[in-house]
């Protein structure tokens, strides 16, 4: 007789208001299995994991754990059963040390815990200093701490939510080795991802979600990427379109040995960051998150200003602007789409029409200091139409739009300003594949029209697709410019972990 | 008695109301909750303790009743701020005003009455030293407060409970995700803070100045709140901050008796001026605040 499956879910349903995030989902996870949950952003993967880990309670459905029906009402209950979870956005405490973080889950004297941490580190390739403060660790090290913390409770099922999204290519291989070793020791793994190649390399079973429903249950090794993609997005994957080489114009944006030590002790300082962005090209900034991208973005947008004496460290259209505020920089022809759509790119509680006013007011939306409501509505309607934003109209609240639609709207608003320099941070983060493709095509189109485009992204594939040149940020240092068409992902990966160019 | 030995002898007792209330608030804030109602909770603790002593109940019972009164009032705060997730600043202010109002009402017929305080317990030999001798003759509550300070310091530094409280205050979402009952822990902290504020009030009204006058807490609750920030959420620094305030408030008395050329009003205002200056200096140091501060302070949390 076959052993009972480790975990069986039947008819799991969870709705948030009108949105059914999980609709009657069935899932069976076997013993000693690496099981993939595959789906686009918004397909319901994270909700399903929260149900399994007891963070959320389902509206309907039953859970069977090792043959026994159970109620997962809290994370503590899930942990007691032997379910551990590694979160996408880590749940570590930054002001505590590694061993203190772990002591929160496992009781015991610190010295003994530290010894256990080192032991697990050796067994599974998870090397980390037990007495380091978490805020001083890299993202990859934090992930190791999370995994060790789960392993300390000796789980039978380990859930990993998009674990590779924070890792450079080299570290992905190491993580996979660790996960295979865990499987061989009897730990089943639920691996959440939207990256097809990773799932084919690692998993022996895959459940595919789309729009909150299961659309496939397959052995990923027996299918090619096209089949998986069709199950995931419901149609064929849009073909990648490599941007054609294109003559470039004058320098529009220049950083000259920019140094910055932020006030925030948890932020990353920048040292001697230099780049030149020309009209008619796309320059990509690659790197693992938390290596100074946020600080660089603020220095570019004007949210962080330098003293007037250092104004030449940031130059726009040949003019030193490092001391100018965002509005002054925008007046020179600079447009900026920040990483956080809600709160920085748009005000969630305001209508789309009022959100257009935020940056597009110079386009005649004001009349003698008062808002011209008619022009405002016209502008917003044009944005919605031209950029294929799916919404009820200009009066919809920004917070009610999906991530992809709001991103298209913000991009549309900024593009309508006809900027000379467009700076976009994480253009397709949390955006579905269809909208992501549209946004990338739009960026290439901007470039072809002679706009200088700067893109910060953690998605290497995206940068290879649209960029002419790539520079890599690591611990606040920026690599030299690399030709996107003649550089391999492995080389970018070496720069991402600081292993390239050190001796050279 | 010289001015210096007067200050040395009295500063611990003067510091005790600040210290007790601030230590309680430290625990509350470490868990991520901001209870601005300290002043009112102290006033309520003060009046009930005074009444118990006045009617012959003795100081032990008085402190017990004051702690219970503080807990009850802080439970009102906890129910609104943690149970219903109301704005903590608004609820704290409301509960503080409620406490002050209740203390005026309850204490109305006791206005200006006096009682006897507590005897000093002297450390042999040390208390006979010249100048500093007075430092070693203090009442029982002062000695217990010193022990309590050390216990709290050790709790945050060494114990699992201290670690859990810090975790809950830094990142309640993560604390819940690893299985802690955030709201229950925070409520526990609020209750502890309420009891400590009640004790602080009781000390002020039955030991430090054993008489009842409406409004006698006179801003001590607010100073205690400031002390927590002043001490950047560290037990030791809060202790020294409280001591400094105790000493400065006595200095104004010394100035009056010795006819210093400094206006006494200025010296009376000194504790408040020092608070403003120190808070200004500390809050301008973002690095210090970020490392020692409580990341989720004042934010409502619901699972």
Return the pLDDT at A243: 66
Q: What is the secondary structure of B121-141 as a DSSP string?
A: EEPTTGGGSTTGGGGGEEEHH
> In Å, how far are A268, B275, B277, B288, B289 from B280, measured between CA atoms?
26, 8, 5, 13, 12
Most confident of A134-138, A163-167, A490-494: A490-494
Give me the CATH topology for the region A251-333+419-496.
Answer: Rossmann fold (3.40.50)
The CATH number of domain A7-233, selected from 3.60.21.10, 3.40.50.300, 1.20.200.10, 3.30.43.10:
3.40.50.300
Nearest-angstrom CA–CA distance, A44 and A37: 10
Q: Tens of pLDDT along B9-57? A: 999 999 999 999 999 999 999 999 999 999 999 999 999 999 999 999 9
Band of residue A454 on the pLDDT scale cut at 50, 70, 90: very high
CA distance B171 to chain A (A): 7
Band of residue A170 on the pLDDT scale cut at 50, 70, 90: confident
Mean pLDDT to the nearest integer, B99-109: 96
Interface contact A79-B179, CB threshold 8 A: yes
Q: Tens of pLDDT along A70-121? A: 998 888 889 889 999 887 666 889 889 999 999 998 888 889 999 999 988 8
Mean pLDDT to the nearest integer, B207-228: 93
Return the pLDDT at A434: 76
B47-B48-B49-B53 Cα dihedral, nearest 10 degrees = 100
Residues of A in contact with B160 (CB under 8 A): 103, 107
Residue A502 has pLDDT above 60, yes or no: no
Regarding predicted confidence, which is higher, A227 or A420? A420
Q: Which of A104, A155, A262, A266 to mutate to test the interface with B (most CBs of B within 10 A)?
A: A104
Q: Tens of pLDDT along B156-174? A: 998 999 999 999 999 998 8
Return the pLDDT at A246: 80
Return the pLDDT at A503: 41
Taking CB atoms within 8 Å and a gap of at least 24, the contacts of A52-59 are A52/A7, A52/A9, A52/A78, A52/A83, A52/A159, A52/A190, A53/A78, A53/A83, A53/A85, A53/A159, A53/B177, A54/A78, A54/A83, A55/B176, A55/B177, A56/A14, A58/A12, A58/A13, A58/A14, A58/A22, A59/A13, A59/A14, A59/A15
- Average model confidence (pLDDT) for chain A? 87
Interface contact A55-B177, CB threshold 8 A: yes
Minimal Cβ distance to B287: which of A92, A100, A265: A265
Lowest mean pLDDT among A42-51, B56-65, B80-89: A42-51
CA distance A141 to chain B (A): 18
Return the pLDDT at A239: 66
Beta strand B137-139 pairing with A7-16: unpaired
What tokens were used for B90? 């608004």
Regarding predicted confidence, which is higher, B233 or B248? B233
Mean pLDDT to the nearest integer, B227-234: 89
Chain centroid, CA A272 distance in Å: 26
Return the pLDDT at A242: 65
Contacts of A231 (CB under 8 A, 6+ apart): A38, A208, A210, A215, A216, A218
Return the pLDDT at A90: 67
Q: Identify the H or E element spanning A14.
A: strand A7-16
**How many CB pairs below 8 Å do chains A and B form together?**
61
Minimal Cβ distance to A92: which of B174, B176, B286: B174
Nearest-angstrom CA–CA distance, A496 and A472: 6
Burial class (CB in 10 A: 0-12, 13-18, 19+), A495: buried
Q: Tens of pLDDT along A37-64? A: 988 777 888 889 889 998 888 999 999 9
What tokens were used for A124? 């599974």
Interface contact A264-B179, CB threshold 8 A: no
What tokens were used for A491? 């080389």
In SS3 terms, A460-472 reads as: HHHHHHHCCEEEE
Taking CB atoms within 8 Å and a gap of at least 24, the contacts of A294-298 are A294/A267, A294/A268, A294/A339, A295/A260, A295/A262, A295/A267, A295/A268, A295/A269, A295/A270, A295/A476, A296/A270, A296/A456, A296/A473, A297/A336, A297/A338, A297/A339, A297/A423, A297/A425, A297/A456
Tell me where in chain A the CATH 3.40.50.300 domain(s) lie.
Answer: 7-233, 251-333+419-496
Q: Tens of pLDDT along B121-146? A: 988 888 888 888 888 989 999 999 99
Q: Tens of pLDDT along A463-472? A: 998 999 999 9
Most confident of A21-25, B188-192, B230-234: B188-192
- Average model confidence (pLDDT) for chain B? 91
Nearest-angstrom CA–CA distance, A29 and A228: 19
Return the pLDDT at A504: 38
CB A259 within 8 A of CB A230: no
Q: Is the ipTM of this complex over 0.95?
A: no
Band of residue A266 on the pLDDT scale cut at 50, 70, 90: confident
Is the Cβ of A79 closer than 8 Å to some Cβ of chain B?
Answer: yes
CB A102 within 8 A of CB A117: yes
Residue A138 has pLDDT above 80, yes or no: no
Lowest mean pLDDT among A166-170, A342-346, B38-42: A166-170
Angle at A291 between CA A285 and CA A296, to 5 degrees: 60
Regarding predicted confidence, which is higher, A437 or B238? B238
Band of residue A422 on the pLDDT scale cut at 50, 70, 90: very high
Residues of A in contact with B164 (CB under 8 A): 104
Query: Nearest CA to A428 among A418, A420, A439, A419?
Result: A439
Minimal Cβ distance to A266: which of B163, B178, B290: B290
Burial class (CB in 10 A: 0-12, 13-18, 19+), B300: middle
Return the pLDDT at A238: 65
Percent of chain A predicted with pLDDT > 70: 97
Q: Tens of pLDDT along A307-339? A: 999 999 999 999 999 999 999 999 999 999 998
């Amino acid at each position: 007789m076959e052993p009972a499956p480790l975990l069986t879910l039947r008819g799991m349903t969870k709705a948030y208001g009108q949105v059914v995030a999980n609709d009657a989902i069935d899932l069976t996870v076997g013993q000693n299995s690496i099981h993939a949950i595959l789906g686009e952003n918004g397909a319901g993967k994270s909700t399903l994991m929260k149900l399994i880990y007891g963070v959320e309670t389902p509206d309907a459905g039953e859970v069977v754990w090792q043959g026994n029906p159970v109620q997962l009402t809290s994370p503590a209950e899930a942990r007691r059963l032997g379910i551990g979870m590694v979160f996408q956005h880590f749940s570590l405490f930054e002001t505590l040390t590694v061993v203190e973080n772990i002591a929160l889950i496992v009781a015991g004297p610190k010295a003994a815990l530290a010894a256990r941490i080192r032991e697990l580190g050796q067994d599974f390739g998870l090397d980390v200093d037990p007495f380091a403060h978490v805020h001083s660790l890299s993202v990859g090290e934090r992930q190791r701490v999370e995994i060790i913390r789960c392993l300390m409770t000796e789980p039978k099922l380990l859930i990993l939510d998009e674990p590779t999204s924070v890792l450079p290519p080299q570290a992905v291989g190491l993580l996979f080795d660790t996960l295979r070793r865990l499987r061989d020791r009897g730990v089943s793994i639920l691996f959440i991802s939207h990256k097809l190649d990773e799932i084919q390399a690692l998993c022996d079973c895959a459940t595919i979600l789309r729009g909150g429903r299961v659309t496939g249950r397959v052995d990923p090794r027996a299918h090619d990427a096209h089949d998986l993609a069709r199950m995931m997005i419901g149609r064929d994957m849009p073909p990648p379109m490599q941007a054609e080489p294109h003559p470039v114009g004058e320098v529009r944006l220049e950083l000259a040995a920019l140094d910055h030590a932020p006030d925030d002790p948890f932020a990353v300082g920048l040292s001697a960051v230099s780049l030149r962005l020309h009209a008619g090209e796309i320059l990509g900034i690659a790197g693992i998150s938390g290596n100074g991208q946020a600080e660089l973005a603020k220095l570019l947008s004007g949210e962080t200003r330098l003293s007037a004496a250092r104004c030449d460290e940031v130059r726009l259209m040949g003019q030193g602007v490092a001391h100018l505020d965002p509005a002054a920089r925008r007046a020179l022809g600079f447009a900026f789409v920040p990483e956080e759509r809600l709160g920085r790119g748009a005000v969630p509680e305001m209508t789309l029409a009022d959100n257009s006013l935020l940056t597009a007011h110079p386009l005649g939306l004001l009349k003698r200091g008062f808002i011209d409501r008619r022009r405002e509505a016209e502008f917003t309607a044009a944005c919605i139409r031209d950029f294929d934003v799916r919404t009820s109209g200009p009066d919809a609240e920004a917070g009610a739009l999906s991530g992809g639609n709001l991103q298209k709207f913000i991009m549309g608003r900024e593009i309508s300003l006809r900027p000379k320099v467009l700076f976009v941070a994480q253009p397709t983060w949390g955006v579905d594949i269809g909208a992501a493709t549209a946004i990338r095509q739009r960026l290439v189109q901007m470039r072809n029209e002679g706009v200088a485009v700067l893109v910060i992204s953690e998605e290497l594939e995206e940068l290879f697709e649209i960029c002419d040149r790539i520079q890599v940020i690591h611990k606040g240092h920026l690599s030299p410019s690399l030709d996107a068409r003649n550089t391999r992902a492995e080389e970018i990966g070496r720069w991402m972990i600081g292993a390239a160019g050190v001796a050279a | 008695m010289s001015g210096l030995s007067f200050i040395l002898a009295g500063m611990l007792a003067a510091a005790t109301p600040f210290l007790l209330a601030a230590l309680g608030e430290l625990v509350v804030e470490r868990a991520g909750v901001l209870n601005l109602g300290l002043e009112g909770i102290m006033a309520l603790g003060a009046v009930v303790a005074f009444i118990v002593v006045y009617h012959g109940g003795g100081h032990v019972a008085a402190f017990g009743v004051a702690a219970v009164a503080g807990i009850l009032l802080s439970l009102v705060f906890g129910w609104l701020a943690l149970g219903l997730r109301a704005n903590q600043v608004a609820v704290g202010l409301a509960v503080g005003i409620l406490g002050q109002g209740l203390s005026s009402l309850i204490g109305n017929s006791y206005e200006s009455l006096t009682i006897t305080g507590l005897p000093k317990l002297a450390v042999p030999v040390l208390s006979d030293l010249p100048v500093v001798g007075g430092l070693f003759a203090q009442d029982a509550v002062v000695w217990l407060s010193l022990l309590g300070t050390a216990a709290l310091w050790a709790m945050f530094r060494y114990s699992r409970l201290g670690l859990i409280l810090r975790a809950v205050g830094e990142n309640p979402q993560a604390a819940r995700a690893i299985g802690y009952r955030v709201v229950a822990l925070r409520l526990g902290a609020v209750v502890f803070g309420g009891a400590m504020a009640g004790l602080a009030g009781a000390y002020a009204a039955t030991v430090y100045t054993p008489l009842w006058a409406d409004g006698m807490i006179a801003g001590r609750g607010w100073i205690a709140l400031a002390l927590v920030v002043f001490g950047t959420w560290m037990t030791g620094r809060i202790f020294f901050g409280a001591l400094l305030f105790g000493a400065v408030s006595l200095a104004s008395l010394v100035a009056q008796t010795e006819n210093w050329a400094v206006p006494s009003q200025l010296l009376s205002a000194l504790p408040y001026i020092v608070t403003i200056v120190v808070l200004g200096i500390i809050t301008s140091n973002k690095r210090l605040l970020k490392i020692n501060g409580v990341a989720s302070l004042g934010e409502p949390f619901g699972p």
